[in-house]
Structure 1
């Protein structure tokens, strides 16, 4: 039963679920975003659709053993593609004049995925925790400040990843801390007015 609950939490708070929800909130919640449908479609394409296609292609070619990419060594190449996809997504959002927080979050995805790629070459870090930590910071800076809900969600996700034996406590703690620290620095110093 515990394994099933942990698996459910991992699916509900999966990075491919968190990204479109976060971008949708940032885009549709701010009237300064012109053409919100276009901006959301761009965000969805670059944070979810293209990433899923890359993972499915790697699976089809036999370069990954499962869709969760649970083997550390198998994560390296998909992370490189992810960094490139997010980087192009940032450029497209910038071209279409997305608000600073929207394009800033895509920038965070690109840079932080590159950093995770470097770490993953030597050590497995929790991409689930990273995929929740950065968006939480963006939502917090946007004004969605719900520390109990956000904190409990992060604890539940990190605990579920440990229960599923996908990560150690150090790997989920490192992922959450790295994502929140980097996202805060990148967004506040590079994209938001001081």
Structure 2
């Protein structure tokens, strides 16, 4: 694998981008998985946007832009040395900040947007996964990329199978292929060992599939 391609793939498929990707697929390809989405989407708007787009933008701002801004601020204040966060020391504080943000987002959707319980449950599972990664990273460098992309595969596959949504078949297949390339890229860049990749994959799949099967 080309090193430049591996770097680009790692950047584009950053763990913080996974919530936006999951909900973009569900909102626009498998909207029946979010039971009240089409009902409210036809009657409600967010400014000039449809409800779907408004929710997706809100998720993007809360789960990607806000954490990225906070991590950049930590770097500017020299709390972390490297934005790539390749060492355990650089990962701990950003992960704790991200856990706090994602927990707030999950609570916000749970209590303020009760019309869409599936959204809040998926966000809660993501917050739990990040919390687990944060705790493990106190001692060991588990692959957050593997957790994020395998969690995406697990969420889409679990929802597609549970609700029989045929339209999700190709997105799931693409997600699996992309996950394979991403994990290969992380190994190529020597960012993680095979054990760290396998552990991250197991964690992401276990959490996402458990939440979908048991609660959604």
Partner of 1:145: 169
Summarize deviations over 1:87-112 as a string: whole Å, max 9, x none: 11112222212533321121012111
Aligned-pair CA distance for 1:20: 1.4
Partner of 1:102: 119
Q: CA RMSD in A?
A: 1.9
Contact 1:105-1:135 within 8 A present in 2 as well: no
The higher radius of gyration belongs to 2
Summarize deviations over 1:125-178 as a string: whole Å, max 9, x none: 111111111122222233223454333222211111011111111111111111
Partner of 2:98: 82
CA distance in 2, matches of 1:78, 1:47: 13
Contact 2:19-2:123 within 8 A present in 1 as well: no
CA distance in 2, matches of 1:60, 1:9: 25
TM-score normalised by L of structure 1: 0.89
CA distance in 2, matches of 1:101, 1:67: 33
| Stretch moving more, 12-21 or 43-52 | 12-21
**Runs of 5+ consecutive residues of structure 2 not aligned to the other structure:** 41-50, 161-167
Q: Does 1:125 align with 2:155?
A: no
How many pairs align?
191
**Runs of 5+ consecutive residues of structure 1 not aligned to the other structure:** none
- Report the secondary structure of 1:9's partner residue: helix
CA distance in 2, matches of 1:142, 1:98: 18
Contact 1:42-1:89 within 8 A present in 2 as well: no
Q: Does 1:15 align with 2:31?
A: no
Partner of 1:30: 31
CA distance in 2, matches of 1:81, 1:17: 16
